[in-house]
Amino acid sequence: MKEIIISISLTVFLFTTSLIAQNFQGKAIYESKTNLDIDFSKSGIPADRIKIFQERMKNNLEKTYELSFNKTASIYREEEKLDQNSSRGGMRFLMMTGGASGKHYKNVQTKKSTKENEFSGKNFLIKDELVAYKWKMEKETKMIGDQMSFKATTVVNMPVRREMRFGRRNNKEEDKREEEAIKKPTSEPVIVTAWYTLDIPISQGPGDYWGLPGLILEVSVRDTKIMCTKIVLNPKEKAELKEPTKGKIVTQEEYDEIVAKKTEEMRERFRNERQKSGGERGMMRHSN
């Protein structure tokens, strides 16, 4: 056991020493997957349309991200897929609250966060303070690849997930239930579980997550898991870790208000269209 501890300590020491180098940089690849069930049993939607929808949904729920980092800053962004256009014209899902559709810049020294995001045809630049997570260090450990990883948890207030309905409605009671749901609390406490490694002692991680004494390799929140699959230290091609500058500057709170207002407008428009012509309906729920 002493030999193992000495070996780990030596690895951390050597890596920490390399951090002193001015040009130090690293790259981590993450895969994100979300379990999402949709019950079409009472929807009346043709089987061929259900299959198309499921393929589009799978494309949106399985993503690959790249995190480029140095001692103090990082940029997190989704890797582009060759079939990106296949989801256009269909339903798109925003599974991770506050996620960025473009570059997400974090600086742990200045405690600043900047996200590029496109919403409703407009480009936004969400500039705010880094979220101050209150991490609780747990006792569990596990291996993620070749990295000894340690568990930490925190509680984050997130928007309440509501059951999504679409299509034909002939029951006024369903509309009443939907209106009642809108009046309920808009946020709820959610447990976030992270696994980090001391072998790479930088306070970075995927998405909004940071603040632990080592690189975060895995995050689980609700039905979404983000897992690191590859790490490259001091890659030959250095990434440009500069803060994004294009887009309308807003805070996270202002952006959330914009999204909420637009979402309500869309809900009202769909409600009116439903009353006029009707359509098909499905039920969406998350797996536990």
Provide DSSP, 79-131: PPPTTGGGGTTS-----STT--SS-EEEETTTTEEEEEEEETTEEEEEEEEPP
Q: Report whether 127 contacts 111 (CB < 8 A).
A: no
- What tens digit of pLDDT does each residue of 119-165 get? 988 999 999 999 999 999 999 999 999 999 999 999 999 888 765 55
Query: Whole-prediction pTM value?
Result: 0.76
| pLDDT, average across residues 67-76 | 96
Indicate the DSSP class of residue 23.
T
- 261 or 87: which carries more pLDDT confidence? 261
pLDDT of residue 288: 45
- 85 or 227: which carries more pLDDT confidence? 227
- What tens digit of pLDDT does each residue of 12-65 get? 444 554 454 567 899 999 999 988 766 666 666 777 777 777 777 777 788 999
- Mean residue pLDDT of the chain comes to 79
Question: Which residue's entry shows tokens 């002692």?
Answer: 201
pLDDT of residue 10: 39
Per-domain boundaries in the chain: 2-286
Q: Is 261 helix (H, G, I), strand (E, B) or coil?
A: helix
Distance of CA 276 to the CA centre of its chain: 36
Lowest mean pLDDT among 27-31, 45-49, 192-196, 271-275: 271-275
Q: Is 142 helix (H, G, I), strand (E, B) or coil?
A: strand
Tell me the CA distances in angstroms from 68 to 46, 105, 192, 241, one per residue in order.
Answer: 44, 10, 23, 8
Q: Is 160 helix (H, G, I), strand (E, B) or coil?
A: coil
Q: Report whether 190 contacts 222 (CB < 8 A).
A: yes
Which residue, among 70, 42, 210, 68, has the nearest Cα to 132 in the 3D structure?
210
**pLDDT bracket for residue 209 (50, 70, 90):** very high
